[in-house]
């Protein structure tokens, strides 16, 4: 970080300016002018790369959002574990998306069902190839954080009863293989892309895949002890901290501007940056509508507003608009997001009726709103068709359910995936990691 | 988010490069060179739009800052409600600033008192008009988050006793009508702008407007039960979580770089980006001075440093520099922010003497420091005059107090704005939303 | 923030476009084309400045990360104090780096041992000098937040027993003098730079300097009462909030993309922005490896995963890669970060054996991993040599230990640096600042 580095980096340009300013050297207008002006391809390359970097760090930040959301929605005896799982899964996703994920998703798919195996390598230091139109490392970074998001979705649903290491092994498979394979079908220009399937930023490719993986895990793992009584009664297990859940939601909302906005993949032209702006605005409107609809519906249904529903309403609005944040008019974005909010309000009790125990509501938010958002693309985007959208939803759902199910079954049959009843009662923090979240108050200090 | 999209987006440019590289086609230097170099207007458009997007997401993040600050400063029995109000008001602001706010503030004001009615519409997909110099959606997004900030200020002052829905109805009016109207007077090039009033990023237009609306609400709503005794004694109601309040302050400080910096509205020239940089530095210095002054003063006055005063000192420093973060020298910025910090230390007990119950200190921070910052613009900016600054402060204050007061009175006379004494004692979380913030510890688990 | 400002800012450019478009004016291709295209030097200036601003606000955000990490790792009776110290030190660092720090570090060092004295001044409003290649205020802002980071490191180690004001006085000296002097040796192009020492983003200049200052303070201050028993037993004092510690770690991880990425100091060429991207990817890989290694090692050693070790593993991975985040291959980055994670797992109990009481683990994370990262630069960067790296590590370590030690001794001998035993037992929140962190639960409400 020496200052001399910078001066060095600018010297050629500076030289160019001096040369151009000297009349004696200005023999040929084109030649002399060349170093003075910014090359369009270079400028576009820098803008595109910058979009990936900014979008990437915003989506990386979503990992913290999931951590806080889940830490707030589980009981205090499982908060440390939830924090640990979230930082661990983000780390694993980063490693796996380098070792195998990126190439499996993006290299040589060519209309097919998956790419190639092997670790990814970046541009060399000072790389100056313009071929891709952006730095390969920035692209990798941006795609990697999407992969991590998928894994984050799973951890919330399965909280409070799944063992640490089996969960992490599942994360290895999900981020290294399952997500990249279905991702390759569309973003890797595989068979679904050829067919005309459309999923701009991942309502299906990221959110539903995470949701399907969570659902298969929830079915195999079973509900938390005491959640569903024999007579059909449902016992609420309130989350330990609403402000942390709120913080997590705000973090996710913020990160989503990168998630959807930078999925434009370019901002080197005024058309591209205008599209990124539309995406920002539409993304915000859908989330806002999700909140308002969830609030009004819970007020009508329950005579009180449920704050967790409002938070999940925001997230469902965001997931809903993710498949097509660019084409909708503002009013369409409001409707798409508002329906997402309604889905959450009706789906959460429905899952409880089915005795599917989803601790944080990730299945309504990510899977169901993801399906809705993907399906409704055809409303605003004339290039999409409802039939092809359904085809993609079903194909990716089926593959993810089956592949995830196989992994969960193998883990269950071998090392086991669920803690004992006694351990569940004590809380995973005490039993599995030995660090309580709030040792001086709460369950940590008062019970067991 | 297919990779092919990007390649497509770059193809024209790429073609240009190839054409220019071919000697046969280089008949005319200007023509051949044209596609090779970046057009200045395009590059400026992209930079300006990017400034709005980055500034916008930073200011959006301030909504989370207010949520955390307020969640930390209210008692645990009202924390969930405060979280809910903050995500709800941000959502409502987004919707209202589309439905009516933006056009009322910015379209056709022309020296007058307000713009036009009706929802705003953005550039079309791939929009390529350079007329505005930035994408309209990015501008809308950036202005919208300012509108939301105004509403955030109100929620803190009125915490712990105002009913949810009346507060939200007030938010609808504030963000859809009151804020845009006074905003139009200055930023919409209305009558105050014509007169020469100067408020760079909104010490008055955002912070004081929020502060006046909060003040009128506090006067009509009354103090929390038990806050002020008959003999003039003041009972402190300590906030439930200092780390959340601290987090909120840091979030606001971070977001303020977008708030002030991106209010330069352009970074497509070196002069503009240099100004944005000055603004970043001055903004930081003012906040730092606010903290240090508040700490030293509370140490002297009370023999202990009050952490909430230090936090509010930072915020007051930030509000103070917001009216003119560009023109001051560093030393001036330090003084302006330092005085802001002092205002908080002296005004908080003064408000208590007046029995105005401001739960989080928003009136000293946003209203009083906002007035100070607006007035002192004339010190560093030779285009401003103290008289005109005062005119603007008074005009906007009078309008906001009257307009807000009318709304509060109507709400009070119809659906009522205050919860019952019993409900206030129980806490709004239990009574109005049914979700406790910390069900396993604190008041949640131990009382009632 | 009037819209007219923007139009004004664009007028020259707009004029240029009109002129160029008019055939009558296009007499000379070079002249006419000049205003139409973006000048390379201008565009580079804007990109470089933007990199400083984005990198700067990300590193500023790390101040919040340290605040949350430390608030989570101290006991609840000291949480408010830790919050206060963190916002205070960030403020002081900003003021001191203006008053004396920047010039001492960067102006006129010229192969020597320090720069000049006196406050720094920025480019004038609308400054249009291209000499530096970036706005001076953006550079100051970016370097200032590095200075603040150094101070943040100290506060964690010395938590729970150091007095507020002596700590702040030490911060004045550290940020105004000690850090800038050693910084000048390398980044100010002083004697270590001449010798060929290499520390890209500050494994030594920032992290080890903070670590040495913390170590000297810990030695002089002594351990917390009750931490080390007479028979060599170590009593764990668990932190009050794991989710806050996790949040802090995620914030730091996010901020580190700015810390390392923007230390490239330029992104105006495709080579530079490609390097920034490589740095983002390598930084993430090193942190991920740190987490995974710390988790596996604690599982093997203790049969449980320690969540605080996983968090510190991430930070140690980040510190390790900071000295050279650009040159390593991905595999090298993974190894460098992974070793950092291992260092934490082994060093934390080692420090306890030495009875050095480091409340948050800052010495293993910042000092030891910082030494490791600086030393191993020579593995991937052929311009560096192990011998010179060691020379820099030792020289900076010796100076910082001695200088810090002198300051700590003077403070101890005069105003005293440690609270009384009784005060320590009561907690600093009650005794020194009078605001409890969690007044309604935890130790705050139940004890004393």
Closest-CA distance, B395 to chain A, in angstroms, reads: 32
Query: Taking residues A364-374, what's their average pLDDT?
Result: 98
Check CB contact under 8 Å for C54 and B58: no
Task: Give B30's contacts in chain A (Cβ within 8 Å).
Answer: 29
Dump pLDDT digits (tens) for C49-74: 999 999 999 999 999 999 999 999 99
**pLDDT band, residue A138 (cuts 50/70/90):** very high
Dump pLDDT digits (tens) for C317-329: 999 999 999 999 9
pLDDT score, position B4 = 40
Give me chain A's average pLDDT, please.
91
**pLDDT band, residue B23 (cuts 50/70/90):** very low
pLDDT score, position A2 = 53
pLDDT score, position A4 = 40
Check CB contact under 8 Å for B443 and C440: yes
Query: Taking residues B19-45, what's their average pLDDT?
Result: 62
pLDDT score, position C35 = 56
Range with the poorest average pLDDT among A107-121, A316-330, B28-42: B28-42
**pLDDT band, residue C47 (cuts 50/70/90):** very high
Predicted model pTM: 0.94
Angle (deg, nearest 10), helices C136-157 and C179-186 = 120
The DSSP bridge partners found for residue C39 are A37
**Helix/strand/coil (H/E/C) assignment for every residue in chain C:** CCHHHHHHHHHHHHHHHHHHHCHHHCCCHHHHHCCCECEHHHHHHHHHHHHHHHHHHHHHHHHHHHHHHHHHHCCHHHHHHHHHHHHHHHHHHHHHHHHHHHHHHHCCCCCCCCCCCCCCCCCCCCCCCCCCCCCHHHHHHHHHHHHHHHHHHHHHHCCCCECHHHHHHHHHHHHHHHHHHHHHHHCCCCHHHHHCCCCCCCHHHHHHHHHHHHHHHHHHHCCCCCCECCCCCECCCCCCCHHHHHHHHHHHHHHHHHHHHHHHCCCCCHHHHHHHHHHHHHHHHHHHHHHHHHHHHHHHHHCCCCHHHHHHHHHHHHHHHHCCCCCCCHHHHHHHHHHHHHHHHHHHHHHHHCCCCCCCCHHHHHHHHHHHHHHCHHHHCCCCCHHHHHHHHHHHHHHHHHHHHHHHHHHHHCCCCECCHHHHHHCHHHHHHCCCCCCCCCHHHHCC
Q: Does position A232 have pLDDT exceeding 60, yes or no?
A: yes
Task: Give B247's contacts in chain C (Cβ within 8 Å).
Answer: 64, 67-68, 247
Check CB contact under 8 Å for C50 and B254: no
Closest-CA distance, C251 to chain A, in angstroms, reads: 8
pLDDT score, position A442 = 58
Give me chain C's average pLDDT, please.
91
Percent of chain C at pLDDT > 90 equals 86
pLDDT score, position A35 = 57
pLDDT score, position C10 = 39
**pLDDT band, residue C129 (cuts 50/70/90):** confident
Q: Does position A265 have pLDDT exceeding 60, yes or no?
A: yes
Range with the poorest average pLDDT among A268-282, B9-23, C189-203: B9-23
Check CB contact under 8 Å for C88 and B295: yes
Check CB contact under 8 Å for A246 and B87: yes
Q: Does position A361 have pLDDT exceeding 80, yes or no?
A: yes
Of the candidates C26, A28, A42, A29, which has an alpha carbon nearest to the alpha carbon of residue B37? A42
Task: Give A257's contacts in chain B (Cβ within 8 Å).
Answer: 53, 57, 60
Closest-CA distance, C391 to chain B, in angstroms, reads: 35
Closest-CA distance, A200 to chain B, in angstroms, reads: 5
Q: Does position A3 have pLDDT exceeding 90, yes or no?
A: no
Task: Give yes or no for A5 touching C (CB within 8 A).
Answer: yes
Task: Give A246's contacts in chain B (Cβ within 8 Å).
Answer: 64, 67, 71, 83-84, 86-87
Q: Does position C191 have pLDDT exceeding 50, yes or no?
A: yes
Give me chain B's average pLDDT, please.
91
Task: Give yes or no for B62 touching A (CB within 8 A).
Answer: no
Task: Give yes or no for B27 touching C (CB within 8 A).
Answer: no
Out of C68, C92, C137, the one facing B281 most closely (by C-beta) is C137
In the stretch 220-239 of chain B, residues with CB closer than 8 A to chain C read 238-239
Dump pLDDT digits (tens) for C359-387: 999 999 999 999 999 999 999 999 999 99
Task: Give B50's contacts in chain C (Cβ within 8 Å).
Answer: 50
Dump pLDDT digits (tens) for C241-271: 999 999 999 999 999 999 999 999 999 999 9
In the numeric block, the tokens 């070790």 are attached to C309
Q: Does position A26 have pLDDT exceeding 70, yes or no?
A: no
Dump pLDDT digits (tens) for A64-113: 999 999 999 999 999 999 999 999 999 999 999 999 999 999 999 999 99
Dump pLDDT digits (tens) for B58-117: 999 999 999 999 999 999 999 999 999 999 999 999 999 999 999 999 999 999 999 999
Contact yes or no for C314/C264 (Cβ under 8 A) = no
What SS3 class is residue A448? Answer: coil
Check CB contact under 8 Å for A268 and B9: yes
Locate the chain C residue with the closest alpha carbon to B184: C2
Check CB contact under 8 Å for B250 and C87: yes
Check CB contact under 8 Å for B305 and C71: no
In the stretch 80-119 of chain C, residues with CB closer than 8 A to chain A read 106
Percent of chain A at pLDDT > 90 equals 86
Q: Does position A14 have pLDDT exceeding 90, yes or no?
A: no
**pLDDT band, residue A1 (cuts 50/70/90):** low
Task: Give yes or no for A19 touching C (CB within 8 A).
Answer: no
pLDDT score, position C224 = 97
Task: Give B285's contacts in chain C (Cβ within 8 Å).
Answer: 94-95, 98
Check CB contact under 8 Å for A46 and C270: yes
Under 8 Å CB pairs connecting chains A and C tally to: 269
The whole-angstrom separation of Cα C210 and Cα C60 is: 16
Task: Give yes or no for B160 touching C (CB within 8 A).
Answer: no
pLDDT score, position C442 = 57
pLDDT score, position B5 = 40
Dump pLDDT digits (tens) for A194-215: 999 999 999 999 999 999 999 9
Task: Give yes or no for B311 touching C (CB within 8 A).
Answer: yes
Task: Give A308's contacts in chain B (Cβ within 8 Å).
Answer: 435
């Amino acid at each position: 970080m020496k200052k001399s580095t910078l001066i060095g980096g600018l010297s050629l340009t500076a030289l160019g300016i001096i040369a151009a300013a000297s009349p004696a050297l200005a023999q040929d207008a084109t030649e002399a002018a060349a170093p003075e002006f910014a090359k369009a391809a270079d400028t576009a390359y820098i803008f595109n790369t910058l979009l990936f970097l900014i979008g990437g760090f915003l989506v990386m930040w979503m990992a913290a959002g999931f951590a806080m959301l889940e830490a707030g929605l589980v009981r205090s005896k499982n908060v440390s574990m939830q924090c640990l799982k979230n930082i661990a899964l983000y780390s694993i996703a980063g490693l796996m998306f380098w070792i195998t994920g990126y190439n499996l998703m993006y290299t040589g798919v060519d209309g097919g069902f998956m790419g190639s195996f092997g670790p990814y390598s970046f541009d060399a230091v000072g790389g100056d190839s313009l071929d891709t139109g952006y730095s390969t490392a920035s692209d990798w970074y941006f795609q990697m954080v999407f992969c991590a998001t998928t894994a984050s979705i799973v951890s919330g649903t399965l909280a409070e009863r799944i063992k640490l290491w089996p969960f992490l092994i599942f994360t290895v498979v999900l981020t290294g293989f399952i997500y990249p394979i279905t991702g390759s079908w569309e973003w890797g220009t595989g068979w679904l892309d050829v067919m005309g399937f459309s999923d701009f930023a991942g309502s299906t490719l990221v959110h539903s895949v995470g949701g399907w993986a969570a659902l298969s895990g929830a079915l195999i793992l079973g509900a938390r002890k005491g959640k569903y009584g024999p007579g059909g009664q449902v016992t609420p297990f309130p989350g330990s901290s609403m402000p942390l859940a709120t913080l997590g939601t705000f973090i996710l909302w913020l990160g989503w501007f990168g998630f959807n906005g930078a999925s434009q993949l370019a901002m080197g032209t005024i058309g591209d940056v205008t599209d990124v702006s539309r995406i920002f605005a539409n993304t915000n409107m859908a989330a806002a509508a999700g909140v308002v609809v969830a609030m009004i519906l819970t007020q009508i249904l329950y005579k009180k507003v449920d704050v967790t529903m409002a938070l999940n309403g925001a997230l469902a609005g965001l997931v809903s608009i993710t498949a097509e944040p660019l084409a909708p008019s503002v009013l369409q974005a409001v409707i798409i997001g508002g329906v997402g909010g309604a889905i959450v309000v009706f789906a959460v009790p429905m899952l409880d009726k089915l005795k599917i125990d989803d601790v944080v509501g990730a299945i309504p938010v990510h899977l169901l709103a993801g399906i809705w958002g993907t399906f409704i693309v055809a409303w605003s985007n004339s290039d999409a068709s409802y039939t092809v959208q359904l085809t993609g939803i079903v194909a990716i759902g089926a593959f993810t359910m089956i592949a995830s199910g196989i992994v969960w079954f193998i883990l269950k049959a071998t090392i086991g995936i669920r803690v004992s009843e006694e351990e569940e009662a004590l809380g995973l923090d005490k039993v599995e990691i030995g660090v309580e979240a709030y040792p001086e108050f709460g369950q940590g200090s008062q019970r067991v």
